[in-house]
Structure 1
Amino acid sequence: MSLEGGPAWMVTGNLLVRTDESVVAVKILNGSRYEHFADSGRRVSVRGENERVFSWSHCSYLAE
């Protein structure tokens, strides 16, 4: 999958994550919080492969 969006300081354009087709949302640990991405329903060609695009939806913080 390809990731897009998120806070201005977070570079997602070059991030690729492998998942199976049943995955509809992912979260990535980023310091003391998780960045959440949801399936956008779109696909893009990345390095010759048809990848799903996941768009940033929100963040959540780790409990102390």
Structure 2
Amino acid sequence: MKIALSGGPAELAPAHRSVDSGALENTLKIRHGAGYEHFVHGGEFQAVDGCDIAVFRWSHRTKIAE
């Protein structure tokens, strides 16, 4: 399933990615630098090239435990 990321670090662009269909129900955690960027799906979809894709919005960042 294709998704769009909204917010978070600019380095994660391009914002369109593919994930498993079960990701809509979970927080999406993307490793970035020395931590993880967390994105959540709040039910929003947007049309891109004639297809509806889920929009995941940035929620917070966590550091990797040492």
Q: TM-score, normalised by structure 2?
A: 0.75
Unaligned 5+ runs, structure 2: none
Unaligned 5+ runs, structure 1: none
Normalized per residue, the structure richer in strand is 2
Moved over 6 A (4+): none
Alignment of 1:1-64 (within 5 A): 1-7=3-9, 9-12=10-13, 14-21=15-22, 22-64=24-66
Equivalent pairs, count: 63
Calculate the aligned-residue CA RMSD, in Å. 1.9
Normalized per residue, the structure richer in helix is 2
Partner SS for 1:63 = coil
Identity of aligned residues (%): 33
